């Protein structure tokens, strides 16, 4: 690297954070950490019409949950602030005016009505090389007319003046050589009538001010690249321009188009990192966190959407991702989102995590059973975690350890229940003691069944239902060992009484 690595994640505070946005943040973060650089959070809030109260705090919370903590941000500023675009408002006009003065941009005074009239007149109207001389702007008006309009406060925007018959080229770190014909790019607005910049001007000014070395963003921004490249050139900053990488899209499960919130609603899975409640409508959009995903699994899953390390390895910690990550291994093609695969990642992470690591995420879930002994809880978690895909599954898979079942799966036991089985279970209660481990209890159980001329399978299921309430859970004698003799006997006798009625 010829200069210090400084990368930025620059979301707009307009609502929930899409998993594609989190992946962009993740790839920026990994690249920065791999090269001992800085990861910066910049809030792009120049479009005040789309600003949503609370969205900035929500974005910060999502990054924090994922473990992608910025080195510099609005809440943790460095020496390259401000970190909100709205706080840089005065600087943008200066550069926009400079572009006009140098002949690279112009004032446009067209009213919304005039623009609509032109759109009705010309199919697929674009404000650019072919139409700009038909419009009301500083290219068609006299200098005196322009001065009068400016001095009288007439609303106007500043547009870039795209050159004719030029090829704009650059090297994309993922896609290689990319070239654009300027005749196909319209004169984008750089400064809006309210004095706020559009993304095109703001991103260039901000990246220069913050000394951004590498700009990684979604491929949907690729068509905007020629505008940004020209702005770096026209403002005299070409030698300080960051290197570019346009990340592949995250696609719908069928591969047909970009994954949207609507797709998640339709197919029954979240597309936001965390729950988002629209402050205006009160509508809740669910997130991966609240669904029961571990942050480690969520980050791991996102990394594998469009990237791999060249091996068959799929499970990575954040630290391993930092060490293994390289921009060259990012695919050019879009990555299909597979919710079943996402759940597989979570299941793998739950299985591989220690009870101590899982406990902070499960404590509130299991607290409904009252005061819980941590040591006992850790043993329960370790015993059932292989059966849990989402963190919420622990409520079913572990709950019966803390509270005896109040209802039973009647159909699993009642049709084949008889006096002989009741007598057998009474006998089994008399030989259980706390010195028995799971293997010894199982051997004793089978010997006793044989003595009472019962098949072990005939009485194993009733035992499970008595202890658990249903046909699920780990090994039934592992459950009994963890519950202990007193609780096991109590549940069996309660079950006998229930099924005898």
Measured CA to CA, the distance from residue 42 to residue 8 in angstroms comes to: 7
Single out the residue of 128, 156, 370, 87 nearest to residue 227, CA to CA: 128
Measured CA to CA, the distance from residue 442 to residue 480 in angstroms comes to: 10
What size, in residues, is the chain? 501
What are the angstrom distances between the C-alpha of 9 and each of 22, 42, 215, 323? Answer: 9, 6, 9, 20
DSSP string, 238-286: GGGPPEEEEEPPEEPTTSSSB--HHHHHHHT---BSS-EE-TTT--EE-
Taken in order 388, 390, 396, 399, is the CA torsion positive or negative? positive
Say which residues have a Cβ less than 8 Å from residue 14's Cβ, sequence separation at least 6: 47, 50, 51, 52, 55
Instruction: Retrieve residue 490's tokens.
Output: 């109590």
Task: Judge residue 46's burial from the number of C-beta atoms within 10 Å of its C-beta, 0-12 exposed, 13-18 middle, 19 or more buried.
Answer: buried
Measured CA to CA, the distance from residue 355 to residue 363 in angstroms comes to: 11
If residue 324 lies in a helix (H) or strand (E), which one and from where to where? helix 318-324
Catalytic residue among 34, 89, 208, 261: 261
Q: What are phi and psi of 287, to 5 degrees?
A: -120, 170
Instruction: Retrieve residue 371's tokens.
Output: 């005061």
Q: Is 261 a catalytic residue?
A: yes
Say which residues have a Cβ less than 8 Å from residue 62's Cβ, sequence separation at least 6: 17, 22, 273, 274
Count Cα neighbours of 156 within 13 Å in the Cβ-side half-sphere.
Answer: 23
Which amino acids are annotated catalytic? 261
């Amino acid at each position: 690297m010829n200069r210090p690595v400084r990368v930025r994640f620059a979301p707009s505070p307009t609502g929930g954070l899409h998993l594609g946005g989190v992946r962009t943040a993740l790839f920026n973060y990994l690249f920065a950490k791999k090269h001992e650089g800085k990861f910066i959070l910049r809030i792009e809030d120049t479009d005040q019409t789309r600003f949503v109260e609370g969205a900035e705090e929500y974005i910060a919370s999502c990054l924090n949950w994922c473990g992608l903590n910025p080195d510099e941000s609005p809440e943790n500023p460095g020496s390259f602030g401000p970190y909100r675009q709205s706080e840089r408002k005065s600087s943008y006009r200066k550069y926009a005016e400079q572009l006009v003065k140098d002949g690279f941009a112009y004032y446009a005074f067209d009213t919304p009505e005039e623009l609509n009239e032109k759109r009705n007149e010309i199919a697929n109207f674009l404000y650019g090389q072919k139409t700009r001389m038909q419009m009301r702007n500083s290219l068609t008006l006299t200098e005196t007319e322009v001065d009068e309009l400016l001095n009288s406060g007439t609303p106007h925007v500043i547009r870039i003046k795209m050159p004719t018959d030029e090829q704009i080229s650059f090297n994309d770190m993922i896609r290689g050589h990319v070239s654009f014909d300027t005749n196909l790019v319209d004169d984008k607005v750089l400064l809006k009538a309210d004095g706020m910049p559009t993304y095109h001007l703001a991103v260039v000014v901000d990246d220069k001010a913050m000394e951004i070395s590498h700009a990684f963003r979604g491929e949907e921004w690729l068509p905007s690249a020629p505008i940004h490249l020209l702005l770096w050139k026209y403002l005299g900053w070409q030698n300080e321009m960051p290197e570019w990488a346009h990340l592949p899209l995250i696609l719908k499960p069928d591969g047909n188009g970009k994954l949207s919130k609507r797709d998640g609603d339709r197919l029954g899975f979240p597309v936001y990192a965390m729950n988002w409640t629209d402050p205006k409508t009160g509508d809740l959009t669910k997130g991966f966190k609240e669904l029961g995903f571990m942050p480690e699994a969520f980050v791991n899953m996102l990394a594998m959407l469009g990237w791999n390390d060249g091996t068959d390895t799929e499970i990575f910690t954040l630290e391993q991702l930092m060490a293994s990550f390289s921009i060259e291994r990012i695919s050019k093609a879009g990555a299909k989102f597979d919710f079943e695969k996402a759940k597989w990642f979570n299941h793998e992470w739950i299985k591989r995590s220690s009870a101590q690591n899982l406990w902070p995420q499960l404590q509130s879930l299991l607290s409904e059973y009252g005061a819980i002994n941590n040591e006992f809880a850790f043993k329960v978690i370790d015993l059932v975690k292989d059966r849990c895909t989402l963190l919420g599954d622990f409520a079913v898979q572990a709950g019966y350890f803390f509270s005896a079942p109040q209802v039973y799966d009647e159909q699993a036991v009642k049709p084949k229940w008889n006096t002989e089985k009741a007598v057998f279970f009474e006998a089994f209660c008399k030989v259980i003691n706390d010195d028995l481990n799971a293997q010894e209890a199982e051997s004793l159980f089978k010997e006793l069944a044989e003595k009472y001329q019962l098949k072990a399978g005939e009485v194993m299921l009733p035992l499970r239902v008595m202890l658990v309430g249903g046909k699920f859970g780990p090994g039934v004698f592992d459950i009994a060992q963890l519950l202990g003799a007193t609780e096991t006997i109590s549940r069996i006798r309660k079950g006998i009484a229930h099924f005898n009625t």
